[in-house]
Amino acid sequence: MSGILRVILDGACKGAVNMQRDAALLRDHAPGDDPVLRIYRWSPPAVTIGYNQAEASFDAAAAAEAGFDFVRRPTGGRAILHAEELTYAVVGTSPGPLFGSSLHDAYMTINRALVAFLASLGLEAEVSAGESLAEARGLVCFKSAGRHEVRVGGRKVIGSAQRRQRGVFLQHGSILTGPRHRDLVRFLPGGGAAPGLGAELAAVTTDLGELLGVDPTAARHDAWAGLLVEAFAATLGLDPR
């Protein structure tokens, strides 16, 4: 291997802390610095909304009443309930030789690592070609698979978002490990009154627990995090430190 992949294993943190740490990694990264892979979880669960989404489109009070955090991400995309998942963040240089010259290049490089991670679990994944304009305007991230998102058996299992500035980028994404992301409908206006939205989320998403027939315990999350580090290091040809 040539070069270093800086690895940060943070465990479970509050929503605001997770987003502050990702934003700080982006802020402090300079073109040419060693790339960073941060892996973390959420405690308590948190609803995050995209950088450009309107907070008024969600019931933040209902989230607080449920004991969940409610926070804005430094990246775009749509709302997610982070409950049963393993979250990754990558910070790197673009344009550059490792992640390519464009947003698309960086996504696809990272997706190769994510697909390799799923393959290490015996899962065959594909990268989504995109969604319709109407789907792209929706409030809920996992309701449809946008371009660059990862599916197994035609159902979305990883969703990601990216922000680029000053020749560097932050990409972070949710690897679903259990079904609790579907509870996001509780925090839409009207308490998730949109007919069939919960069932639709169940139909178009899947998770590692369902795919592997296991419970997403803390120990399994730790094991999956180790495999994720290995997949990124091998894909990027870097030494994880």
Q: Above 60 in pLDDT, residue 21?
A: yes
> What is the predicted pLDDT for the residue at 130?
52
Q: At what angle do helices 218-236 and 103-120 cross, to 10 degrees?
A: 130
Domain that holds residue 130: 4-240
Question: What are the angstrom distances between the C-alpha of 81 and each of 4, 133, 181, 185?
Answer: 32, 23, 5, 9
Residue 117 has pLDDT above 60, yes or no: yes
pLDDT tens readout for residues 181-196: 999 988 886 655 555 7
Angstrom distance (rounded) from CA 236 to CA 234: 6
Q: What is the pLDDT of residues 137-193, one digit of tens each?
A: 445 555 444 678 999 999 999 999 999 999 999 999 999 999 999 999 888 866 555
Task: List alpha helices for the chain, DSSP H.
Answer: 15-28, 60-65, 103-120, 133-136, 189-192, 197-204, 208-212, 218-236
- Whole-angstrom Cα distance, residue 192 to residue 198? 8
Please say if the pLDDT value at position 27 is more than 50.
yes
Distance CA 52, CA 94 (A): 23
Domain tally for the chain? 1
Residues with a known catalytic role: 141
Whole-number pLDDT of residue 1: 57
Domain CATH for 127: 3.30.930.10
